Amino acid sequence: MCYTSLGLNIARRLVRKLFKTFIRNEIMYIETIKKLCCLFDRGELTLTTIHTKLDGNIEEGYLLCSSCTRIYPIIRGIPIMSPDEYREFELEKPLLERWEKHLNGKTITNFRLIESNSLV
């Protein structure tokens, strides 16, 4: 196992422990959103829901920082809020491609949601 994979596993376990009081049965509850902020600049996070359960709780979606436009995916009810150095874009890429229609013509670069026409 490489160090990057080891770091990802540690980050995943940490995220699971941090949110175990908010998340039950791998579903993210909407009231949890109010308690979260961006890890880097403490910016407010806005929610885009991709898939919810019948009871209205979030199963898939993403959180977007209003300040730095960093994107945090919610997968199987768990927000992936790891620092950039512990995230691997190639692992998240298939998921983001599947969500492309929900990105409103924007693209993801360095874990940030940006306008497609602003790419250099």
Task: Please state the three-class secondary structure of the chain as a single string.
Answer: CCHHHHHHHHHHHHHHHHCCCCEECCEECHHHHCCCCCCCCCCCEEEEEEEECCCCCEEEEEEEECCCCEEEEEECCEECCCCHHHCCHHHHHHHHHHCHHHCCCEEEECCEEEEHHHCC
pTM above 0.85, yes or no: no
Q: Which tens digit of pLDDT belongs to each residue from 14-52?
A: 666 655 544 444 455 667 777 888 888 889 998 888 888
| Res 120: pLDDT | 45
- Between residues 57 and 1, the one the model is more confident about: 57
pLDDT of residue 98: 82
Mean pLDDT of the chain: 75
Q: Percentage of the chain surpassing pLDDT 90?
A: 3
pLDDT single digits (tens) 45-91: 988 888 888 877 788 888 989 899 888 888 888 888 888 788 888 88
Position 21 scores a pLDDT of 45
